[in-house]
Amino acid sequence: MLGNNLTPIVKNLLIANAGVFLVANLFNFEEVSAFMALRYFESSQFKLHTIITHMFMHADFMHLFFNMFALFMFGPALENVWGPKRFLLFYIVCGIGAALVYTGVNAFEYHHLEQSIDAFRMNPDPYTFELILHKKFGAFQRFPQLTEYFTELPNAYKQDPKNPALIRQSIDVLESFYQIKMNGPMVGASGAVFGILLGFGMLFPNTPLLLLFFPVPIKAKYFVMIYGALELFAGIRNNPNDNVAHYAHLGGMIFAFILIKYWQKQRNSFY
C-alpha cells in the first residue's frame, strides 16, 4: 500500500516542490523566499499569497527530502480513496491550516514579547535584559554576526548597569531582534504532510508501519498519536534554539481532522 502506484496529484506535488527548490538554489534563494515564504501578518514583508506558496518552498535538501518522502509514502493511499480533486483540496487546506495556527501562536507569543520589551524599557536592568535575550532570542546565537550581543553586551551591562549608552544599546538590540524575529520566514510542506499522516492514521488505523528509528511494527493510529504528542510537547517546551515550526505541524493535523470529520458527516459510507 505505502508508496505504491504513484498517483497524479502526489506526482505533481513532488515535481512542484523539487522544481521550486532547484530554481531557488540555482538562481536567487532570497528573492524566491521573499516572494514565497510566509511571514507574520504584521510584518512589512507579509504577502497574502504566501499562505499557500510557503508550502512549496523548502529551506534545505533534507527538509525537502523528508517532507517529500512522507508525501510519497502516505499520499497515494489517500488519493486513491478520495480521488485527485479531493486529495488536492485536503493537501492545500492542511497547509493553510498550518499557516493559520502558526500565525495564531505567533500572535500570542509576539504580544507577550512586546510586553516584556516594554517593561524592560520602563525599568531596565542587566539581568532582565539577559533573560529576555536568551529565552526569546536564543536561536539567533547561531548567526556569527549576532553572537557578540549574547556575551559582550550583557557582561558590559552587568558591570555598569546605570550606563545610559549600554541601556540604550540593550533596548535597541531587543527591538531589532524583535523585528528580525517577526520578519522571519516560514517555509515547507510539513503542515500539509502532517495532515496526510493524520489522514492516513484515520483511514488506515491498523496498518503496521516499520520505522527506521523504531524497528518494531507500530500501527498507524498509534504512530500518529505519538508523533502528534511529541510535536505538542516540543511546541509547549518552546526551546529558543529549536528552529522547527511545531505548531504549524499541529495545525496541519488539526485541520486534517476537522476536514475528515466534516466529510464523514456528508455521507453514510466514508470509504
Confidence check: pLDDT of 124 > 90? yes
Amino acid 134: pLDDT = 86
β pairing state of 214-219 and 208-211: antiparallel
Confidence check: pLDDT of 42 > 60? yes
Listing DSSP states for the chain in one string gives: -TT-S--HHHHHHHHHHHHHHHHHHHS-HHHHHHHHSB--TTSTT--TTHHHHGGG--SSHHHHHHHHHHHHHHHHHHHHHH-HHHHHHHHHHHHHHHHHHHHHHHHHHHHHHHHHHHHHHHS--HHHHHHHHHHHHGGGGGSGGGTHHHHHHHHHHHHSTT-HHHHHHHHHHHHHHHHHHHT--B--SHHHHHHHHHHHHHHSTT-EEEETTEEEEEEHHHHHHHHHHHHHHHHHHT-TT----HHHHHHHHHHHHHHHHHHHHH-S---
Amino acid 270: pLDDT = 45
Amino acid 149: pLDDT = 87
| pLDDT digit string, tens, across residues 44-75 | 899 999 999 999 999 889 889 988 988 998 89
Q: Is residue 24 very low, low, confident or very high in pLDDT (cuts 50, 70, 90)?
A: very high
- Cα(88)–Cα(79) distance, rounded to whole angstroms? 8
| pLDDT digit string, tens, across residues 214-255 | 567 777 777 777 766 766 655 556 555 555 667 788 889 999
Amino acid 271: pLDDT = 42
Mean pLDDT of 123-152: 86
> In Å, how far from its chain's centre is CA 118?
27
Q: Which residue type does 42 have?
A: E
Confidence check: pLDDT of 102 > 80? yes
- Cα(150)–Cα(92) distance, rounded to whole angstroms? 40
Confidence check: pLDDT of 269 > 50? no
Amino acid 247: pLDDT = 75
Domain ranges of the chain: 87-121+187-271, 124-182
Confidence check: pLDDT of 30 > 80? yes
Q: Is the dihedral of CA 120, 123, 129, 135 positive or negative?
A: negative
Q: Is residue 115 very low, low, confident or very high in pLDDT (cuts 50, 70, 90)?
A: very high
| pLDDT digit string, tens, across residues 162-187 | 999 999 999 999 999 999 888 989 99
